[in-house]
Amino acid sequence: MSKTPKKGRIGHENQDNIQLEDGFVMFRGSLVDVSKLMSQLDRSERARIETEAKMKISEKYTKSNSNIRHLNSEVKEYKEKLRNSEDSLSRITAYSKLFQSTLMDVRDKIDPVLKTISHKRGVNCRKKRERR
């Protein structure tokens, strides 16, 4: 057998001969810089947090846009209802003025007739009282 260690393993004799610097570790036969891995991990974590924050902002933006579209459609509906109500009010006001003027004309024409009838009744009532 050869004295070379199997892949991923370091023999006892090799492990004893290797002196590792601070921050370095042997892992599966490879020298690993722990501080570099930690800084990469920190960068990855910050990137993940930033991405999640951007996704939340994106979701809020999408919800806001949906809400804005809904509110704009409601505004259009209410504007149309207001326009219809104003048109209806205008027509009703015109009819009301027409009816009022018609009633005033009728009153002006009937008033003299009613006064003569009431005057005649008053005279007839006095005559009846006098006959008694």
pLDDT for residue 110 is more than 70: yes
User: Structurally, how many domains does the chain consist of?
Assistant: 1
Q: Are 10 and 29 in contact (CB under 8 A)?
A: yes
CA dihedral over 79, 81, 82, 83, signed as positive or negative: positive
**Domain-embedded: residue 5:** no
Phi, psi of 90 (to 5 degrees): -60, -45
For residue 132, what pLDDT is reported?
A: 65
Q: Please tell me whether the overall predicted TM-score, pTM, comes out greater than 0.75 for this model.
A: no
User: Which pair of structure tokens corresponds to residue 44?
Assistant: 């990855």
Within a domain: 2: no
The answer to whether 5 touches 14, Cβ cutoff 8 Å, is yes
Is 83 among the domain residues?
yes
More confident residue, 5 or 25: 25
Structural domain span for residue 18: 12-131
Which residue carries 């024409």 as its tokens? 109
